[in-house]
Amino acid sequence: MKAKEHKPEESLKILRQVETLLAEGTDLEQSCRKANISKPTYYRWKRQYGSTNLDEVKRMKELEKENARLRKLVADLSLDKDILQEALKGKW
């Protein structure tokens, strides 16, 4: 069965829900079960989104997309540069 991917906003909301349930006294396994996530997912989200708020998560995702776009652009330009350098040397 394919794992369900949550948006960062949803992940943060579920993480806060589990933390609220833990504060009320339920144990971690029951809290995760009520939120329909596994314990490893809870720990991964806690490590990833632990002390961030919703605005920071949205900004982080925007920066990751921009970073990926820029990396692709640099890779394309490097490839073009290499092709032009080989053409100048006459290696074709």
Condensed to tens digits (0 to 9), the pLDDT of residues 3-31 reads: 678 888 888 899 999 999 999 999 999 99
Residues 16 and 26 in one domain: yes
Cα separation of 3 and 20, whole Å? 24
Q: 13-43 burial by CB neighbour count: b if 16+ within 10 A, else e? A: ebbeebeebeeeeeeeeebbeebebeeebbe
Rounded to the nearest integer, the mean pLDDT of the chain is: 88
91: confidence class by pLDDT, cuts 50, 70, 90: low
Domain that residue 43 falls in: 1-52
Tell me the average pLDDT across 62-70.
95
Residues 73 and 32 in one domain: no
Residues 48 and 24 in one domain: yes
pLDDT at residue number 28: 92
Domain count, the chain: 2
From the DSSP assignment, how many helices (H) and strands (E) are in the chain? 4, 0
Residues 58 and 92 in one domain: yes
pLDDT at residue number 44: 92
Cα separation of 62 and 75, whole Å? 20
90: confidence class by pLDDT, cuts 50, 70, 90: confident
